[in-house]
Amino acid sequence: MKFQRTAIPDVVIVEPSVHGDERGYFSETFRLDKLEQFLGFRLSFCQDNESKSEFGVLRGLHFQLPPSAQTKLVRVTEGKVLDVAVDIRRDSPTFGKHVAVELSAENKRQLFVPRGFAHGFVVLSESAVFNYKVDSYYDPQADRGLAFDDPALNIDWILDPGKFKLSEKDRKQPLLASAQVFENSQNLYE
């Protein structure tokens, strides 16, 4: 298993080792001990989620506020997506910046998205199955989001915006300038 820091060092690409032969392949997709050793802090994933979406579906940008903030470890088991994490920690030097990574069943990459980030993805293939672990249960009172098309974020979603399929919730999210975000990134993992 390989770990690679991105342009925002707290967001990490996880690349599982794949061992294959004429019969197929084997891959260890998650090792808590190795991930914690790389990150330097403990994690407690408590829930696994899965969604299936068709081409052009854009989900996000979503997050939960403390004390229900979530860490996510995301991957695609069918199809291909562009996965995006936006730093919404106001005291961070990368506040408002984002990382975009292609995740697919083929490349088997995963993205570690820490607390203090908004997260979203758009489906680039005919359909995609998206899986993710979280370390805090869903809390509707803490549920928040950002406008996926906020010009201040300058996210290139690859697809023509006319091809996006959005929920009503995602059509109405606020711009970063007016959104409730993480004011203090200290102690997010205590």
- Nearest alpha-carbon partner for 3 in 163, 124, 98, 112: 112
Q: Which residues pair with 129 in a beta bridge?
A: 52, 78
pLDDT band at 190 (very low <50, low <70, confident <90, very high): low
Cite the active site residues: 62, 132
pLDDT at 182: 94
CA 60 to the chain's CA centroid:
9
At 97-117, the pLDDT tens digits run: 999 999 999 999 999 999 999
Cα–Cα dist 176/154, whole Å: 11
Least confident among 50-59, 76-85, 176-185: 176-185
Cβ within 8 Å of residue 186, ≥6 positions away:
91
State the average pLDDT for the chain: 96
Give me the percent of the chain exceeding a pLDDT of 90: 93
pLDDT at 185: 78
Average the pLDDT over 79-91 and give the result.
97
Q: Are 179 and 148 in contact (CB under 8 A)?
A: no
pLDDT at 188: 82
pLDDT band at 186 (very low <50, low <70, confident <90, very high): confident
Cβ within 8 Å of residue 151, ≥6 positions away:
none
Q: Are 116 and 68 in contact (CB under 8 A)?
A: no
pLDDT of residue 150 exceeding 90: yes
At 22-46, the pLDDT tens digits run: 999 899 899 999 999 999 999 999 9
Average the pLDDT over 81-104 and give the result.
97
Domains of the chain (ranges; CATH) run 2-178 (2.60.120.10)
pLDDT at 187: 72
pLDDT band at 184 (very low <50, low <70, confident <90, very high): confident
